[in-house]
Amino acid sequence: MTDSSLRLVWVYPDLLSTYGDQGNVLVVERRARQRGLSVERVDVRSDQPVPTSGDIYLIGGGEDRPQRLAAERLLRDGGLSRAAANGAIIFSVCAGYQILGHEFVNDVGERQAGLGLLDVTTVRGEGARCVGDVLADIDPNLGLPQLTGFENHQGVTHLGPTARPFARTVFGNGNGTGDGTEGAYNDTVFGTYMHGPVMARNPQVADLMLKLALDVNALPPTDDRWYEALRAERIAAASQPA
């Protein structure tokens, strides 16, 4: 795989990078390099245009006002939408996930237009905030083991007919709809509420993004002992009664 190269784009680290979500791009970059891949990482701040030539785009979570600003700027810029139309892989977390949908409720209580890259709509939940560890079984079509993460959100995200649940919760709230769904995906666009960062807890998710970007069914093995130790520890902690 040494002849292959990847361009990773970390979108708006100045607005969307809470709870260590930048760790996702670090994990993808490291796991690509461990396979002998040449990697170019591009960090795109909110005052810069989003390039359309990336292979994998990663977007993190953020507070309410930065989320609104990010959505406005991404809509004006159009680069991320054009990248999606070109078949790029996009992985988003929490506020980033909501932005990829049709709309969400912003910091001033108004419905804010999203990018419409996922068939989801987010409203503000009326009950308790969704906070705590999550265990979830990923969609069997994605072929990954049980996921672990941490959620902290007030949003309730409803999936439309063309969006598939990324996972179904064993423990935790996920999308907050009460139906056990967690996150959503459609083709090459993914969203989840799981922080952690989720790819450090679940390196198989990073590998899935790499396989999709490279259009391969398998990757050379790597030393996953550290990742698996963290993953096992978090699964055990979340499984224990409070």
Task: Assess whether 158 carries a catalytic annotation.
Answer: no
129 is in an annotated binding site: yes
SS3 100: helix
Sign of the alpha-carbon torsion through 70, 76, 81, 86: negative
Q: Which of 88, 4, 6 is nearest to 39 (CA)?
A: 6
Task: Assess whether 195 carries a catalytic annotation.
Answer: yes
Q: What are phi and psi of 29, to 5 degrees?
A: -60, -45
Residues 222, 235: Cα–Cα separation, whole Å:
21
Select which of 102, 153, 158, 195 is catalytic: 195
H or E element in which residue 184 lies: strand 184-186
Cα end-to-end distance, the chain, whole Å: 46
Select which of 94, 102, 130, 153 is catalytic: 94
Annotated binding-site residues read 129
Annotated catalytic residues are: 94, 195
As annotated, the binding site for substrate includes: 129
